[in-house]
Every structure is written in C-alpha cells, then in structure tokens.
Amino acid sequence: MPRLKLTVLQIGVGLIFLLLWHVLTVYPISGTAKQVQFFFSTPLDVLKRCWTLFASGEIWGHLWITLVETILAFLIGAGGGIIFGFLFARKELLAAVFDPYIKAANALPRVVLAPIFALWFGLGIWSKVALGFTLVFFIVFFNVYQGVREVSPVVLANARMLGMNERQLLRHVYWPSALTWVFSSLHTSVGFALVGAVVGEYLGSSAGLGYKIHEAESVFDVTGVFAGMLILSVFVILIDMLVTRIENRFLVWRPQTSLAART
C-alpha cells in the first residue's frame, strides 16, 4: 500500500475516534453533558489541558524524569541481560543450576516489588529504575541466551575451521548473532523500561508522568488523567521510532523483506 494512503487512513482512524468521543460527551445519549464529562471528559478539554501543561512548562520536568528513569532502566537491564545471557549460554552447568530460580524470579509480578524497592532505594528515581530493570533484564536475558544457543551450527563450525579462538568466536559469531535477538526484543524491552518507570512513579514518587497521572486520579480529575495518558502514548511512539532507526542502522545485513515487514 502506498505510504501516503496508509498515513491518511491511520490519521482517519484517530479522527473518527476523537469525533465519536466528542459527539458522545457533548451530546450525551443519557444523563446530562456535565455528568458524562465528569466521567469521560472531552477530547477538546484533554487537548487544551495538554497545551497548558506544555505551555506552562510544568510537564517538561516530569517528562525528563520519566525519560531518565526509562533510559537508565533500559541500559542497566539490557547490560545485565547481555552479560548473564552470554555467561549462561556458554556455561551449561550455570544455566542448569540456576534455571528454576530464574524461572521463579521471572514469574513474579513486578508490581509487588515496587513497595520493597521504594523502601530500599527511596522515593527518588532509583526505585523506578530498579522496577524497570527487573522487567528489561529478563527479556534481554532470555533473548541473548537463545541467540547465543541458536547460532547456526554450520556458521559456527566454519568459523572454528577458519581458526578462530574463543574470543574471536565471541566477537565475530556469538555477539552478532545474539545482537539480532536483542534487537528483535528491543521494542518490547524499551516499552517495559517505560512501564517500570511509570508504574513505579504511580505507586510512590513526587515527579514523573506516572506521578502526574496519579495526582490527577486522586482528585477525580479525569481530564488530567487522559492528558497524562495521551502525553505518555506520544512519548512511547517517539521512543519506538528512535528504536526502529537504531535497529535499521545496526541490522543492515538483514534481508530487506524482513525489514520491510517489521516497519
């Protein structure tokens, strides 16, 4: 499908949704407009609120905090996941011994950890980074582990016959192979880093997008909640676009077909 047509259709869906929302809240089917708007707000109010948040400069600080938490959670989580993924994939015994513990740790719902992290790391950014870390780490860990284990045996045998030692194999074969898996999970793991940050903020903090949404919720300010959610979504889309660009840059060697299918 041509790009222009696709974009028009994509925007169209959004516009129809906003229009329906507007019509149903301004001309309600049952009850008064005031009542309905208390529960659902209206698209114009939400946009207006977003505008004031940005115009007054109030939101920038919160966005920055959330961004920093997301980036830190992602970098530390991905770094840890890569190191441990490699280690476990190369050392059979280690993987076998720790397998049940890793599964148990991964099965734990992260939300229950948030109060503990708040207790350990305080109400600042580090408790949110820790929460994001627990989400990102496992995604990257499992992907790197898989990527290293599933290196094509022929490519590996060939590299060994070309005289590569363990260090060279790591650099020329295992690492690039694992990297494709890391990138295939990058969209998910960046998203989870953000989820960790926002949930952490939501459960206890004094800054960030999650805090803003929580603040609005506690005074039944539905417009404020929707405005926060809208800003959050746009934020996620922007980060995702950045990830796609980085991905395309790093994985130039991949066949174009799979690249086209992804974007």
Instruction: Tell whether residue 168 is a contact of other proteins (CB under 8 A).
Output: yes
Q: Which helix (H) or strand (E) holds 252?
A: none
Give the whole-angstrom CA distance, residue 75 versus residue 80: 8
Among 68, 75, 76, 159, contact with other proteins (rule: CB under 8 A): 159
Tell whether residue 253 is a contact of other proteins (CB under 8 A): yes
Nearer to other proteins, 76 or 179 (CB): 179
Residue 7 interacts with other proteins (CB under 8 A): yes or no:
no
In sequence order, which residues have a C-beta less than 8 Å from that of residue 195 and are 6 or more positions away? Answer: 132, 135
Joined together, the tokens standing for residue 103 give 């599964």
Contact call for residue 177 and other proteins (CB under 8 A):
yes
Give the integer Cα–Cα distance in Å for 158 and 21: 60
Q: In the complex, what is the shortest distance from the CB of residue 165 to other proteins, in angstroms, rounded to a whole number?
A: 7
Does 262 contact other proteins by CB under 8 A?
no
Asked whether position 255 contacts other proteins by CB under 8 A, the answer is yes
- In the list 158, 220, 241, 246, the residue contacting other proteins (rule: CB under 8 A) is 158
Q: Exactly one of 2, 57, 109, 163 binds other proteins (CB under 8 A); which one?
A: 163
Q: State the Cα–Cα distance between residues 214 and 202, nearest whole angstrom.
A: 6
Binding residues among 193-252 for other proteins as defined by CB under 8 A: 252
Q: Identify which of 139, 151, 145, 141 has the alpha carbon closest to the alpha carbon of residue 177.
A: 151
Q: What is the DSSP string of 45-84?
A: HHHHHHHHHHHTTHHHHHHHHHHHHHHHHHHHHHHHHHHH
162 binds other proteins (CB under 8 A): yes
Contact pattern from residue 69 through residue 108 relative to other proteins, giving x for each residue in contact according to CB under 8 A and a dash for the rest? ----------------------------------------
105, amino acid identity? A
Binding site residues, other proteins, CB under 8 A: 154-155, 157-165, 168, 172-173, 176-177, 179-180, 252-255
